[in-house]
């Protein structure tokens, strides 16, 4: 089943509490289950969200417009937007992992995330960031 796959990065004003992340997740999981969307949300303690969303094109379009309008983050920068023959991030309607910024200091691609508000600087890092998102997901799969 061909699907649309999106990877974006966004910024927050200061740190987001675990409680707020859980609120975002609860809504995301409810909606995504309804809409046939799956994916992974990563929150980095310096105030960056990274999210992969996969699902039917129209459902992804609607979810992205709600997400872009959400005042809990800003500078939503779409790094990857493509069709895939099948979804990969299928274990969760929205998986979730949080990291301290220092834990990610060695990952190629993630180093550029402090420039999230400068989309042109971040775009070339899209594939590297996507690989790290896939690694995080694969390392946490339930086989």
Ligand X SMILES: Cc1cc2nc3c(=O)[nH]c(=O)nc-3n(C[C@H](O)[C@H](O)[C@H](O)COP(=O)(O)O)c2cc1C
Residues that bind ligand X in the complex, under the rule CB under 6 A: 24, 27-28, 31-32, 41, 49, 51, 53, 63, 66-67, 70, 72-73, 94
Query: Nearest approach, Cβ of 100 to ligand X (angstroms)?
Result: 18
**Residue 71 or residue 86: which is nearer to ligand X going by CB?**
71
Q: Are 129 and 109 in contact (CB under 8 A)?
A: yes
Nearer to ligand X, 72 or 97 (CB): 72
Q: How far is the CB of 25 from ligand X (least distance, A)?
A: 8
Residue 66 or 141: the one with the smaller Cβ distance to ligand X is 66
CA 140 – CA 56 distance, rounded (Å): 24
Which CB, 15 or 108, lies closer to ligand X?
Answer: 15
Alpha carbon 1 to its chain's center: 21
Please state the closest distance from residue 128 (CB atom) to ligand X, in A: 20
Q: How far is the CB of 112 from ligand X (least distance, A)?
A: 19
Please tell me the distance from the alpha carbon of residue 143 to that of residue 141, in angstroms, as a whole number: 6
How, if at all, do strands 95-99 and 3-11 pair?
A: unpaired
Q: How far apart are the first and last CA of the chain?
A: 22
Distance CA 72, CA 113 (A): 18
């Amino acid at each position: 089943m061909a699907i649309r796959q999106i990877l974006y990065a966004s910024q927050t004003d200061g740190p987001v509490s675990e409680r707020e992340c859980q609120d975002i997740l609860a809504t995301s999981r409810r909606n995504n289950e309804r809409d046939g969307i799956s994916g992974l949300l990563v929150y980095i303690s310096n105030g960056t969200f990274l999210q992969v969303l996969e699902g039917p094109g129209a459902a992804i379009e609607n979810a992205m417009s709600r997400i872009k309008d959400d005042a809990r983050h800003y500078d939503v920068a779409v790094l990857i937007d493509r069709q895939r023959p099948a979804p990969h991030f299928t274990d969760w309607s929205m998986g979730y992992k949080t990291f301290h910024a220092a834990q990610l200091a060695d990952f190629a691609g993630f180093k550029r995330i402090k420039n999230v508000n400068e989309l042109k600087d971040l775009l070339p890092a899209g594939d590297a960031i996507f690989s790290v998102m896939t690694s995080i997901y694969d390392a946490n799969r339930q086989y």
